[in-house]
Each structure stands twice: as C-alpha cells, then as structure tokens.
Structure 1
Amino acid sequence: MKRLLRLPDLLRFTLVFLIALVFQNCTEQKIKESTDETLNITDYLRDTPDYSMFLEALEITNYAPFMNTYGTYTLFLPTNDAMKAYLKDVGANSLKEVPLADLQNVVKLHILNQKINTTSFTDGKIATPSLYGQFLVTGATNKNGESSTTVNKTASILKSNVPVGNGVIHVIDKVLRVADKTLAQTIEQDQSLSLFTEALKITGWYDVLNKPIDYTKNDIDSYLTVLAQTNEAFKTAGINNIEELKTKYSHLHEPLNPKDSLNLFVSYRILPKLQYLADLAITPALETKAPLEVISAKLDKDVILLNEEVFNGVLEKGVAITREKSDVTATNGVLHFVGANFAIKKRLPSPVYFDFCDQNEFRQLTSVFRIPGAAPKTSLAKTLFKDVTWDHNDPITYFKDAARGGTVGFGWHGDCLEINRFRDGNCQNITFTTPVIIKGKYKLWISYRGQDTKVGLVKVFVDGVEMSRQINMLENGNKFSSIEARVLESQGYKRHVYPHTTKMNCRLVGTVDIITTGRHKLTLQSQSSFSAQAWFDVAEFRPIDMDQLYPQFDSGGDGFYTPPTP
C-alpha cells in the first residue's frame, strides 16, 4: 500500500481505474431470460378490470396459480356482467356465497386443456372436453343482422382468439352452466316431449336414462345418446296420446318386455356412447339399444338424415335431426330431436368396404392423409390407436402409393397400410375393429400388394374364427393377368381395382356368418418370417348373393367402377 501511495498521481489514478474495471467485469450480469412478455391467463385477468369477477372465482377455487403456469389452455371468459347475472340466477350476493364445489365445477367447465382458436370450431361439439369433463358445443347465430358464434347455445362470443402466454381466451357474455340433469330428467322437463317421456316410463327405459355415469367402467361407454320425438312429430303420424301409441306398437301388450314392439320402438331411439351431431355426421350406421338393429345416417348439406336409403331403385325418404335444438348435454349423455316419426327397418345384408388405412389416427394427419404430393409414408405408435391392436411395439405405417405421391402401386384411395417385419417376434397378429356390419352371410376378400420374395402366408380371423383360406403374399396380380375375370373368381381371386395394376392382388379368404349387427374384429396373422414390408389395401365383406366382382374400386382414387352394360 505504501508503494502505491508513492506512485505519481496520474499513474496511481490509472491503476485504480483498471482495478475497478476488472471488478465490474467480474460482477454477475442480470440477463433477460424471457423472450416473450405476453401475460399468462391469470396475470392477464389481473391486468384487465373487466374480468375481475372471474379472476376472483379462480382465486376462491385455487385455480389462479394453475392458470398462470406454462401450458396450452383455452379459456371461455365471462365478463363481469355475465358473472353478476350468474350470481342473480343462483341467488347469491357474492361469489363467496356460492358453494365451493359448484363454483369449482363452473370454473372447470370454462377451461379446455388445449389451445383452440375459433378457426377450429365447427357447428357442433369441440373435440376436446372441458376440465369438468363435459363437452362444449359451438354454433352460429344471427341476431339483428349480425352473426356471432355461440357456446352451448346460450353464450355469445364477444371477443375471440385473445392470445396469452399459455393459450387463448374467448370472451363470452354469459356464464356456461354445468349440465346437472340426467337424460331422463332433461327429457321430462321439456313439455314438447311429454308423450315420449310417457313411453320411456312404461317401457322401463326412463330408469335406464336416469342412471348416473359408472366411472368404474370406461366412462365414454357409460354414456347414452337419445333421439327424441316431439309431441308434434307423434301427432303428424296420427298418434295423440300414450294409448294410441300402445295400440299402434305394443303387439304383445307388455311394454316392459324387451321383445314387445313398443319397447323396441323406444330402444331403437337410444344409442350407446356419447354421440354429438359431429359424431353422427361421420357414422354411416348407428348401433342402437334395439338388439341387432341399426340406424343409417348420412349428411345432406347441413342436415343429418336417418334411414334414408335406396332399395331396388326406390328412394326411401329419411327423417331429419332438428339441428338447432339438438346437442343438449346431460350428465349421462346427449339429447337430439328428430323431426318426424320413424320405425325399425328390416335390414338386409349390405356390402362393407373396409379400407385398412381408414383409421381416425391416420385421418388426423391432415397434411398427409390422401393428399397428393405429400410425404409418402408416416408411421404411428400402437399407443395412439383406438381400433387397431397388435403384438410387439413396432409402429404401423400409412403408405401412399404412386397415385398419391408414393411408390407402392395403385390401391383404392391411393394408399396402403404397411406392416414392417410382419413375423413372429415382431408384429405377428394385428386386429382391426370393422365398421358396422349388418347380420348375414358374406364372402370376405382381402386385397394387398404382392411381392416376389421375402414375404409369406397370412391367416385371417373374424371374431376369432379362422377363415378357410390363407393369403399368399408372394402372389401378385401379374400371375393372373391373362385369366378371364369370372374364371379367376372361381379360383378365389379377382382384380379389385380399375384400371388394374399387376402389383395388386385380391384373395377370397372364405365365407363368414355375421351373427349380430355391429362392429366386429378382423385379425391378420403372419405364418412365416417376413423380411420385407407387407402392404394391405381393403377388406371387402360382400353379401353372398351379391356380385363379387363389381363394383371395382377406383385405382388410385376415391370412387367405384362398374363396366357399362353391353
């Protein structure tokens, strides 16, 4: 220190400055770690007084910290005016007077555990359920010449797609209310359904529709869907009271008897599982609680028609679901309204063409699934599939053929299901859940892409019953290209696509007796050590008295081909 003091003033000043500079560089700097200053949901509400009451609800229910964490959420946010109207409806002066469990349920109903913008809304249910577990339903309405989006038919969206750090907010003008009534109670409280309610009670179905969800089972399977008829629909059919309904339909005069036609009349309007309009619109055959009976459904523009079919060239007009009144959520299911009376139809066996690639999990690949020029193949893990199961953990692959930008060949829809190393020790057994098949006898055809080496034999099972013939995947279409079509059919083969490609082949594996109308299990089992990929196109269930050759499938396309009549 003495030596430092003896130095000249200028030199001493310079040395002190350098020492200070070194200490400054060694001091920990405060680095801005965040690159996004967008507020999360809770902080956004704290920063916006117009939503202070829903913020208070979050704080009372202890959801405020949760909604301020990282994630991807959608919040349907009621305004303060909406919250005040809610308090008036429930007879409370403040949110603290609302029972905590009720307030928690209301809060959870407004939150979805996924970010969903209005561009993903459809005229129907949102695909992701709320945190409460009930689905929300969106739609469009026009008031005073202005269009708006509604939620659960009661609330209008005032401001949409508000970005926040952990999701998106849609501001609504009413508080959404939790469905707290069973299907039976929901139907009974609607005076326009009084005759339908009486029918439910005398057949015993009221008690079934009044049961709460059994959460010890798969809760989705515990739900029910009801297609209810209004008094007006009955009146149009000449039925004005319960006695006239019994006279017309109760042939055993025992409505509680499941075999009585009135009991069947009611059970035909009750569907298993939770099925909103969005689900019905994409389901061509609806299973019902009437044993072995189904309802056909098709979408005509924006109307869902039930049991509209063409038989022997004659159009049988269907019954429309009343869209604006339907999609009513209950605690144990969903209620729809139909516009007219309808009865069970005698169903004859009809063909089912099951494309192996037509799985919801593949369909969700919207940038790939049947898109020309997109990536030729995409593999998905077995844990993702609902209706396909297989042994081992190898994925299965959606593979587009040459018609859709891939390399496989020209199959129907331009795609095939690829199984890699289809052998013992890997995926040796793969089981599919088919679409609904009407009871009856069918010939079962399996189409595939044959190869010259490295593949082998495949057994086919329906509901565990082995078919009489195996598929030899070494046989491709080229082997039979010179044989006349009817001769080839007699040998158990055919050309299933048009124009035909020699890479594709189709094998008759046997005749199957479908005992019950519904979805069934189709299993493919390899019998040898495949060291190359196996490609499967379509499983055809054709009634035994139907032409087994025509219609053919559009090679690389989505339609059918029937040769012109000479």
Structure 2
Amino acid sequence: MKRLLRLPSLLRLTLVFLIALVFQNCSEQKIKETTDETLNITEYLRENPDYSMFLEILDITNYASFMNTYGTYTIFIPNNAAVQAYLNDVGATSLSQVPMTDLQNIAMLHILDQKVNTTSFTDGKIATPSLYGQYLVTGASNKNGVSSTTVNKDASIIASNIELGNGVVHVIDKVLRVADKTLAQTIEADPNLSLFTEVLKATGWFETLNQPLTDKTDIDSYLTVLAQTNEVFEAAGYTTLDQLKSRYSHLNNPLDLKDSLNLFVSYRVLPRLQYLADIAITPSLVTKAPLEVISTKLSKDTILLNEDIFNGVLEKGVAIDRSVSDVTASNGVLHYVEGNMAIKKRVPAPVYFEFTDIAEFRRLTAFWKKPGAAYEKLTVDNAGIDVTWDGKASDANAYIAYNKAADGTGITSGIAGCWGADVCEIFRFRDANAQNVAFKTPVIIKGRYKIWISYRQQATKLGNVKVFFDGIEMPRQVNLHEGGNTDTANTPETVLESQGYKRYASPWSNRVNCRLVGVVDVTTTGRHTLMLQSQGNFSAQSWFDIAEFRPVEMNQLWPKFAAGKSTLVQQP
C-alpha cells in the first residue's frame, strides 16, 4: 500500500480505474430476455381491479397459472358486478362458500382453447367448444335502443377483442352458467311446453331425454329436440293429451315404438348435437323415427323444415323460431318450431335432376337459365354446397362450367338438343384434375328406382364413367363415346330400353344419349349423393344433362324432355 501511495497521482488514478473496470466486467449482467411486453391473460386480470373477483375464481381453481402460459386462448371475463350478482343468485357471500366443482365448471365454461374474435361470431354457436365441453352461443340483442352481442342469450359483451400475449379477452356483464339440466328437465321447466312434456312422458321419450351423457366430448352421444309449444298445438286443434292420443295413437299404446304417437315424438328427436348453425347447412335431418328424415331449407334468415316441391307443387314448411332456439342442455340442444309437423308419408315419385340445377350455378343470376348463350366456370373454391370434386383451386384445368346454348326454335345436334339447352361441363374429367365429381340430388322419396344418366356425346378423347349412389357403385358404366346413333337401325324404343338405352329428349338428336346405370334402393327420404368417376385421362370436355330417378314400376320412356326447353313431353 505504501508503494502504491508513493506513485504519482496520475498513475494512481489510472490504476484505480483499471481495477474498477475489471470488477465491472466480472459482475453478472442483467440482460432483457423478452422482446414482447404484452401482458398474458392472468397478468392482465391482476392489473385490472374491475375483474378481481373472476381472477379469484381462477386462483381458487388453479386456472390462473394455466391462463398465464403460452397459448392462443379466448376468455369471457365477467366483471365484478357480474360475479357479485352470481353470488347473490346462489346465496353465497363469498366465493369461498361456492363448491369447488361449481367454480371449476364456471372457469372452464368461460375459456376456449382457440383465439376467436367477434368478427368470427355468427348468429349461433361458436365453432370451438369451451374447455367444459359445452358450446357457447352468440347473437345480437337490442336493449333500450342499444345493440350488443350476447353470449348464451343472457350475457352481453361490454368490451371485446382485447388482444393479449396468449389470446383474446371479451368482457361480459353476467357469469355464464353451465347447462346442468337434461333435455327432459329443460323442456319440463318451460310452462309453454307442458303439453309436449306430457306427450314425452306418455311415449317413454322423457326417460330417454333424461339420460346423462356417457361421453360429453362425443357430439354423436347428444340429442337434438324440435319442440312444439302449447300455442302451436292449440293452433293445430290440440289442447290435451287425450286429443293427441285420439288423433295419433293408432295402436292405443303410445309406448310402442310403432305407435303413431310414438313416431310423432321420435320424428322430433334428432341424433347428434345440432345447433341452428349446423341445421342451416344440412339438407336433410335424420330423425329417431326409423328411416324418416326432415328436409331443411334456408330462406334468408329463416330455417324451414319440410318445405319441398313435389310434382311441381310447393308444400309449405314449418319455421324454426330462432329467437328462442339453440337452448343448450347437459345432453343436447333444444329448438322450438312454429308449426305442427307430421311425418310425410309418400310413395316413390320420379325425380329429374338437371346437373345444371345446383346452388353453385343458380347463384350465377346473370347467366343461369337466361336467354342467350352462356359459359361460366366454377372453380373448386366456389363449390361445396351441391357439388364437390377432387381438383385443386390452383389448377386452371380443375373446373366445371355452366354451358348454355343460344335459344332458338331450331334444334341442333349440340347442347341445344339437351333439356333446357344447357349442360354441366366437366373440363378435363380425369384423375389429374377432377376424377370424382359428386352432386347432391334433390329430395328423393324412399323406394326402389332406376337411375338413368343423360349426356351430350363426344366421339373422341373421352371414355367410360362409373356412377356411384351414396357410395355404392352402379353395375353399368356410361360410355361418353356412344351417341344417339345407337338408334340408326330404327330399333323400337322398347328394345332399346331392354338394352339399357332410351331416347330421352324430344325431338331426338344423335348427339345426345341416355344410359341406364342400375337400380337402387333409396332407404331414406332426403337428398343423396350421386358421384361420377372418370375411368381415364379424358382430354376433352364432358357434358352431362340429366340424372333420372324413376320408380321401377313407372314407365321409363315417358314423359320425355323437350329438347332446348325446360318442359316435359307427355306420351301421345
């Protein structure tokens, strides 16, 4: 130390500076390891005292740490006023008095394991279920002139789309409650469904609808009910159970599954969990009534049941009351219908399905069935309602088209010789572009039918086509090379029919043809799938006109189809 003090002052100062620098370099540096300072959900709750009571629920149930981890969650946060209202409702003064199971269920019901902004909300269920397993239903309401988005019909969203580090937050003004009543209990609790409840008990369906789920993660284990209110029954002329028994119970034993009153109920019970959002996109609903279905139709924002056109006659349907439907139960979902429904008993009737009469073409309002020639492509990404195929949206050759000939009085050998003077064109009908093209048919009544496929012939570059009905391959194939010249020897039509051909259009053109592909048993009334499958790498366009479903006992030759028009030609 004495030697250090004997050094010149400048040198001593330099030495001290170097020693301090060495110590600084040896000390641990605090490095900022994160670049994103956005709060996670739990951190956000701790920063906002308005949500402290819901945070307490998460702390008690250990979901607070869960919501502080990496992920993409959606959480609906009830504010303190909402949680306090919940405590008042259950008769508790603090959250510590609420059973742990109840708090855990509440926490799970408010969390989705996927990020969902309000822009993805529809008037119906959110596509992703909650962690509890039940779906949340969103909608719109107007209270005191103020519009808001509701959740489960009761809670209003008061702040939305709050982006956080691990998800998105929506603030609501009420605590969401787990649906813990079965369908039977939910129906019985509604005084407007008292007669429907009596019918359920008389037929034994009350017990079925009161069964708990065996697996709440499996939507196939749920049930869906289409209920009728007392007002609907009264409008149909029924106010008592005895009146319904007198009208429907033909075996005088409603507990018998074959009794008409039992079928009356089973026709209103659907397998699977089906919210309105599901029903709106399902052409026909399978019911618990054996082999019976309900057709559906979306008219603007109204879902209509059993509104169909048969033999050119419109049969008015029954609407679902959207404002009160989508009621979640512990084992399913409840809907309300606005009219009395009866099972439609029908005999097999012919169905003439134009391949151009599909939703994808009908929405081409500037072209479809309008005067003059038209040609409009339909790409893969614009399909999926009534037609699908296995092409790629990026493939310029993977398309089908609406192809219509110019109108005129003269019938040519081309498309003008087809029914309605239009065809569905499949471009490059082959495995590289579109080998399998599947169409949704109109409603076909259950029964036994012959299936005929009509097309516009092209003699080269095409080949054979297999036909499948609901996945079942038909025994005969369509040879697109064959045209009307199969009739060059003036073969009688009855002989042609025995060979599996016929002259389906009038006047007849040698450029169109019709092939019997097989006989099928249609087991359920509803829409079905008809698939065309190419059996080669076709290098030219294929043109399809009609698929006929004629009951086997019906005349297969008449009526014919007016070439170039959209009318039928009756037998002279």
**Shorter-normalised TM-score: what interval?**
0.7 to 0.9
Q: Please give the residue correspondences for 1:134-149 in structure 2 after superposition, counting only pairs within 5 Å.
A: 134-149=134-149
The CA deviation at 1:470 is 3.5
CA distance change for structure 1 residues 410 and 311 in 2, over 3 Å: closer, same or farther? closer
Partner of 1:202: 202
Task: Report the alpha carbon displacement of residue 516 of structure 1 after superposing the two structures with TM.
Answer: 3.6
Which residue does 1:80 correspond to in 2? 80
SS across alignment from 1:64: helix
Identity across matched positions, percent:
60
- Assess if the C-alpha contact under 8 Å between 1:421 and 1:533 holds in 2: no
Whichever residue aligns with residue 256 of structure 2, its letter is: N
Rounded Cα–Cα distance in structure 2 between residues aligned with 1:562 and 1:19 = 102
Look up the SS of the partner of 1:263 in the other structure. Answer: helix
The TM-score normalised by the length of structure 2 is: 0.72
Q: What aligned pairs does 1:417-432 form with structure 2 within 5 A after superposition?
A: none
Counterparts in 2 of 1:437 and 1:431: CA distance versus 1, 3 Å = farther
- 1:346 to 1:112, Cα distance in 2 relative to 1, 3 A: same
**1:474-507 CA-partner distances (Å, limit 9, x unpaired):** x57xx759999x99998769999xxxxx9x9997
DSSP-derived class of the 1:161 partner: strand
In the alignment, does 2:429 pair up with 1:439?
no
Distance 1:433 1:564, change over 3 A: closer
1:247 maps to which residue? 246
Aligned partners of 1:346, 1:551: CA distance in 2, in Å? 31
Question: Separation in 2 of the partners of 1:507 and 1:236?
Answer: 49
Cα distance in 2 for residues equivalent to 1:505 and 1:159 = 63
Q: 2:64 is paired with a residue of what secondary structure?
A: coil
- Cα shift at 1:208: 1.2
Separation in structure 1 between the aligned mates of residue 123 and residue 337 of structure 2, nearest angstrom? 18
Whether the aligned pair in 2 keeps the contact of 1:69 and 1:166 (CA below 8 Å) is yes
Q: Which runs of 5+ in 1 are unaligned?
A: 360-371, 379-384, 386-394, 423-427, 497-501, 553-560
Which amino acid in structure 1 is aligned with residue 175 of structure 2? V
Is it true that 1:544 corresponds to 2:550 in the alignment?
A: yes
Looking at structure 2, the residues matched to 549 and 68 of structure 1 have their Cα atoms a distance apart, in angstroms, of 70
**Structure 1 residue corresponding to 2:475, chosen from 468, 483, 502:** 468
- Structure 1 residue 60: deviation in Å? 0.8
Task: State the distance in 2 between where 1:256 and 1:246 align.
Answer: 11
Deviates most, 231-240 or 42-51: 231-240
Cα distance in 2 between the residues matched to 1:115 and 1:250: 51
1:314 CA displacement: 3.2
Match of 2:38, as an amino acid? T
Specify whether residues 458 and 541 from structure 1 end up closer, same or farther in structure 2 by C-alpha distance, changes over 3 A only.
closer
Conserved 8 A contact 1:137-1:152? yes
Which residue in 1 is equivalent to 2:61?
A: 61
Cα distance change on mapping 1:334 and 1:536 into 2, 3 Å: farther
Taking structure 1 as reference, are residues 308 and 432 closer, same or farther at Cα in structure 2, changes over 3 Å only?
closer
- Cα drift, residue 23 of structure 1: 8.5
Structure 1 range deviating more: 314-323 or 108-117: 314-323
Give 1:519 shift: 7.8
Count of paired positions: 503
Q: Does structure 2 conserve the Cα–Cα contact (< 8 Å) formed by 1:82 and 1:173?
A: yes
In structure 1, distance between residues paired with 2:67 and 2:282: 37
Query: Which consecutive residues of structure 2, in runs of 5 or more, have no partner in the other structure?
Result: 361-375, 403-423, 506-510
- Report the CA distance between 1:135 and its aligned residue: 0.8
Shift of 1:117: 1.1
Name the structure 2 match of 1:219: 218
2:265 corresponding residue in structure 1: 266
> Is this contact kept in 2: 1:399–1:418, CA < 8 A?
no
Q: Quote the Cα distance in structure 2 between the aligned partners of 1:186 and 1:458.
A: 52
Alignment check: 8 A CA contact 2:456 2:545 kept = no
Deviations 1:128-170 (A, max 9, x none): 1111111111111111111111111111111111111111111
What is the identity, as a one-letter code, of the residue corresponding to 1:110?
H
Which residue is equivalent to 1:408?
A: 398
Q: Deviations over 1:108-130 (max 9, x none)?
A: 11111111111111111111111
**Cα distance in structure 2, aligned partners of 1:322 and 1:400:** 41
8 Å contact from structure 2 (residues 106, 176) kept in 1: yes
Q: Any idea what SS the aligned residue of 2:114 has?
A: coil
Name the residue aligned to 2:329: 330
User: 1:110-149 counterparts in 2 under 5 A?
Assistant: 110-149=110-149
Amino acid in the other structure paired with 1:513: D
CA contact (8 A) 2:286 2:292 kept: yes
- 1:19-54 CA distances to partner (integer Å, 9 max, x unpaired)? 987987898765544332211111110110000111
What residue number does 1:174 align with? 174
* Paired residue secondary structure (1:85): helix
Give the direction of change, closer, same or farther, for the CA distance of 1:127–1:30 in structure 2 (3 Å limit). Answer: same
Q: Is this contact kept in 2: 1:420–1:533, CA < 8 A?
A: no
Matched, 1:49 2:57: no
Task: Give the direction of change, closer, same or farther, for the CA distance of 1:130–1:31 in structure 2 (3 Å limit).
Answer: same
Q: Take 2:451 and 2:170, find their aligned partners in 1: how far apart are those partners?
A: 53
Q: C-alpha separation between the residues in 2 aligned to 1:519 and 1:6?
A: 106
Q: What corresponds to 1:365 in structure 2? A: none
Tell me whether 330-339 or 536-545 shows the greater mean CA deviation.
536-545
- 1:362 is matched with none
* Contact 1:444–1:539 (CA under 8 A) maintained in structure 2: no
Question: How far apart, CA to CA, are the structure 1 residues paired with 2:94 and 2:468?
Answer: 63
Q: Report the Cα offset of residue 183 of structure 1.
A: 0.7
CA contact (8 A) 2:128 2:135 kept: yes
Displacement, 1:94?
Answer: 1.4
Q: 2:522 aligns with which of 506, 511, 514?
A: 514
TM, length-normalised to structure 1: 0.73
After TM superposition, the structure 1 = structure 2 runs for residues 499-510 of structure 1, keeping only pairs within 5 Å, are 509-510=517-518
Q: Matches of 2:438 and 2:568 in 1, distance apart?
A: 36
Match of 1:439, as an amino acid? Answer: K
